[in-house]
Amino acid sequence: MTVVAVRRRFAIDRGTGAGAAIVVVLLALAAVAPFISAGNPETMDFNAILTGPGGAHPLGTDNFGRDVLTRVLFGLRVSMAAAIGSVAVALLIGVPLGLLAGYRRGWIDAVIMRPTDVLMAFPAIVLVVALAGVFGQNLGLMILTIGCVYAPIIVRVMRGAAMEVGTALFIEGARARGASHLRVMVRHVLPNAISPVLVQASALMGVAILTEAALSFIGLGVQPPTPSLGLMLSEGRSYMGDAPWLVIAPGLGIVLAVLGFNLLGDGIPRLFDPARRVRS
């Protein structure tokens, strides 16, 4: 199938297609990083400190003589893991809670939403920093932390969508056919309400990449010498004047990843709406 045929099949517009392509390529690069890169991202070479792009080091080396291309590829792994992991955590927490709150309303809604509102009142980055400070600084914990901090956003979006869908006549119709509340929620409300949540989730992917970068940048995320895009930015900052490739390469990586997820998110509603999907 050609690119055009694939796009027709799934009714994907140009922007969504580009976003999907970027995300797929970055994910693939992150997945195969250990196999395609020249060496270890932590191997230092003191004979090649801060060499410019070209030759044996296509993107140059840093102040320890480490290959920037290798480090960017490995850094991408961390960033992608952080983005996907934390958004998955946010969805796992947020979707059931938001669905329940929006569909059942009343006191259930109040019990779920009050703490959610309190959490949302804090700036996310402050919470992440505080939690990272308390729980320490390994990647797994960081993913959990970012996920928990973004869960309230998912809860809110899911609740709003579930509330709207919950009042639809076909929901009452499903109940009149003898479906239980659980079945109605999972089978009828969720599929019709999930689309805005997924849009939000893809936007959060970009935000999570930035959050990981920010955390690593201020030293609360991934610890050196493990490469992460944010950490590389932070370390490269001191040499920015003499060796701009140290910040350009990871910076571009972050920009591309965020752009890819955002473009992809724009196209999601189409995929979940039968009326807007092209029948083949």
Binding site for another protein (CB under 8 A): 105-106, 168-170, 172-180, 187-188, 191-192, 272-275
Which of 228, 236, 231 lies closest to 61, judged by CA?
Answer: 236
Least gap, CB of 159 to another protein (angstroms): 16
Closer residue to another protein (CB): 143 or 193 = 193
Least gap, CB of 191 to another protein (angstroms): 4
Taking a C-beta distance cutoff of 8 angstroms, is the pair 19, 262 a contact? yes
Closer residue to another protein (CB): 5 or 177 = 177
Closer residue to another protein (CB): 55 or 106 = 106
How many angstroms separate the CA atoms of 2 and 5, rounded?
A: 5
Least gap, CB of 280 to another protein (angstroms): 12
Least gap, CB of 53 to another protein (angstroms): 50
| 29 contacts: CB under 8 Å, gap ≥ 6 | 36, 73, 76
Closer residue to another protein (CB): 9 or 183 = 183
Distances (CA, A) of 241 to 52, 244, 246, 270: 13, 6, 10, 45
Taking a C-beta distance cutoff of 8 angstroms, is the pair 195, 269 a contact? yes
Closer residue to another protein (CB): 194 or 220 = 194
Cα-Cα-Cα-Cα dihedral of 170, 172, 176, 179, to 10°? 80
Least gap, CB of 158 to another protein (angstroms): 16
Report which residue type is found at 267.
G
